[in-house]
Amino acid sequence: TDPDRRIGTINLLAPAERQRVLVEWNTTPDPGADVSGDAVSIPELFARQVQRVPDATAVVFGDRTLTYTELDAASNRLARLLIAEGIGPERIVALALPKSADMIVAILAVLKTGAAYLPIDPHYPTSRKEFMLHDAAPALIITTSHLHTTLNTPTTPILNLDTPTTTQRLATQHTTPVTDHDRLTPLHPHHPAYLIYTSGTTGTPKAVIVPHTGTANLTTTQAHRLTINDHSRILQQASPSFDATVMELLMSLTTGATLVVPEHTPLAGEELEQAITTHKITHALIPPTVLSTLRPTHTPHLHTLIVGGEACPANLITEWSATKRMVNAYGPTESTICATMSPPLSSTDTSHPPIGRPIQGTNAYVLDRHLQPVPV
């Protein structure tokens, strides 16, 4: 009836199957989840927890702990200082800081100004750091006096957090919440929140700018599917320059949980086991390569394990899913870190570990090379 029609445009799906893969598998919300769908900025999500659990522990770093109220106050001071330096929405601030409580304060401060933050892992090669800073052209770099000397950025303004001048300026700033009245321009959820560079395994690293819009859906899905609550303790395992660290931050500071930042990084093997045990970590996002260096019996408090970043081998699923809730998360950086999450894995999933269903507010389609949906 149509001899000139391209084979790839022929619909192979019966109407009921097409409805299933395009609609039913994409629009079913998580049971019990908040399905408002409103786009909310990360500072607003954090502010809700400050109001709800002000005295709960927000961050642990060595002997230093910060409650939600204390973290809010510290980040408000730094945010006001940054606004005075001309930082606001649609500007980029590079954070060349090690994993620490100060790094968390700086992230929140930049977000509260409305600007986007660019994490720079101090352990990265000099050439990589120089490339990111040159390519992104940030309006400001926040770092320390020691790390300042490792950055070849003669024309970019730098704020060293540990100098007496900065300490004195911070002490004079108000700790009250930062609002649109304080910002240079109002913060909108569509404004950029952070800038992440891809690994560069296929060539020059590419920058991905991610807005606030997807974070509310992600945090809602995480809290529900991973059973995160006020008593949860989240490990910050990822490199600051990997977007998994954003997921760890959102898992904790937008749910009322505690974010635990290890003093010594990177961690693997017995050192990581010790950190998980010492800090009574309940939730951790660990790539399979690192997970292979750990033993389930040596992480007694860990009950929820999220794997991602690479395919998970069958032996790890068999080993870990027997005693832990083990979830496989998948998503490109462009899709606000995570696009799909599996249900808890078991030994029956070892042949083809599923990446699961879309998170709230996200659709996922399996298409052929003609971009047509394929049969189940």
**CATH value at residue 269:** 3.40.50.980
User: Are 98 and 27 part of one and the same domain?
Assistant: no
Flag whether 206 is in a domain: no
Angstrom distances, CA of residue 64 to CA of 67, 79, 101, 143: 10, 21, 8, 19
Flag whether 53 is in a domain: no
User: Are 297 and 178 part of one and the same domain?
Assistant: no
Question: What is the pLDDT at residue 69?
Answer: 98
What is the crossing angle of helices 42-52 and 68-84, to 10°?
A: 140
Q: Are 227 and 304 in contact (CB under 8 A)?
A: yes
User: Are 229 and 289 part of one and the same domain?
Assistant: yes
Flag whether 180 is in a domain: yes
Question: What is the pLDDT at residue 249?
Answer: 96
Report the distance separating Cα 64 and Cα 332, nearest Å. 34
Question: What is the pLDDT at residue 29?
Answer: 66
Flag whether 321 is in a domain: yes
Question: What is the pLDDT at residue 152?
Answer: 78
For residue 88, count other CB atoms closer than 10 A to its CB: 19
Picking from 171, 188, 205, the residue at the C-terminal end of a domain is 188
User: Are 276 and 221 part of one and the same domain?
Assistant: yes
Mind listing the pLDDT tens digit of every residue in the chain (376 residues)? 899 988 877 888 999 999 999 998 887 665 545 555 568 999 999 999 999 999 999 999 999 999 999 999 999 999 999 999 999 999 999 999 999 999 999 999 999 999 999 999 988 888 889 999 999 999 999 999 988 888 877 789 999 999 999 999 999 999 999 999 999 999 999 999 999 998 766 678 889 999 999 999 899 899 999 999 999 999 998 888 888 899 999 999 999 999 999 987 667 889 999 999 999 999 999 999 999 999 999 999 999 999 998 889 989 999 999 999 999 999 988 999 999 999 999 888 777 788 999 998 899 999 988 888 998 8
Report the distance separating Cα 116 and Cα 77, nearest Å. 17
Picking from 173, 188, 203, the residue at the C-terminal end of a domain is 188
What is the crossing angle of helices 101-113 and 244-253, to 10°?
A: 90
Domain housing 226:
14-40+213-368+372-376
Strand partners of residue 92: 116
> What are the φ and ψ backbone dihedral angles of 252, each rounded to 5 degrees?
-100, -60
Flag whether 61 is in a domain: no
User: Are 355 and 309 part of one and the same domain?
Assistant: yes
Domain count along the chain: 2
Non-local CB neighbours of 347 within 8 Å, separated by 6+ positions:
317, 318, 321, 322
User: Are 234 and 376 part of one and the same domain?
Assistant: yes
User: Are 173 and 218 part of one and the same domain?
Assistant: no
Angstrom distances, CA of residue 138 to CA of 41, 130, 158, 248: 21, 12, 10, 24
Which two structure tokens, joined as six digits, stand for 249? 């931050």
Flag whether 101 is in a domain: yes
User: Are 358 and 253 part of one and the same domain?
Assistant: yes
Flag whether 126 is in a domain: yes
User: Are 100 and 242 part of one and the same domain?
Assistant: no
User: Are 376 and 229 part of one and the same domain?
Assistant: yes
Question: What is the pLDDT at residue 132?
Answer: 92
User: Are 33 and 108 part of one and the same domain?
Assistant: no
User: Are 32 and 103 part of one and the same domain?
Assistant: no
Flag whether 2 is in a domain: no
Picking from 188, 223, 252, the residue at the C-terminal end of a domain is 188
